[in-house]
């Protein structure tokens, strides 16, 4: 599963959302952190800011999604990076 995840970490859906958006919406902070750490491992720390700050078609990033869904643990993790 991890190998599959690595291949899809930056894949986007029709609304330009990445897997980080879904995690920020309704997953634990541990899952959000795992996705971020896998991004670092797969693509390098220099790509992290773009991955975290990536905007969907509505102009929202993962932190915006977490804030809208009141996912406190995801908010905490996203703000730590």
pLDDT on residue 3? 52
pTM of the model: 0.86
pLDDT on residue 7? 46
Number of domains in the chain: 1
All residue ranges of the chain with pLDDT < 50 are 1-2, 5, 7
Domain that holds residue 66: 2-8+17-80
Nearest alpha carbon to residue 36 among 56, 21, 16, 15: 21
Write the burial class of residue 50 (CB in 10 Å: 0-12 exposed, 13-18 middle, 19+ buried): exposed
pLDDT on residue 4? 52
Q: Which two tokens stand for residue 18?
A: 């990445």
pLDDT on residue 26? 95
Q: Which two tokens stand for residue 23?
A: 């995690």
């Amino acid at each position: 599963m991890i190998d599959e995840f690595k291949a899809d970490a930056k894949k986007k859906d029709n609304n330009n959302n990445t897997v980080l958006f879904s995690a920020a919406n309704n997953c634990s902070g541990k899952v959000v952190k795992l996705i971020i750490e896998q991004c670092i491992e797969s693509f390098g720390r220099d790509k992290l800011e773009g991955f975290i700050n990536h905007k969907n078609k509505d102009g929202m990033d993962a932190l915006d999604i977490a804030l809208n869904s009141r996912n406190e643990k995801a908010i905490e993790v996203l703000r730590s990076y």
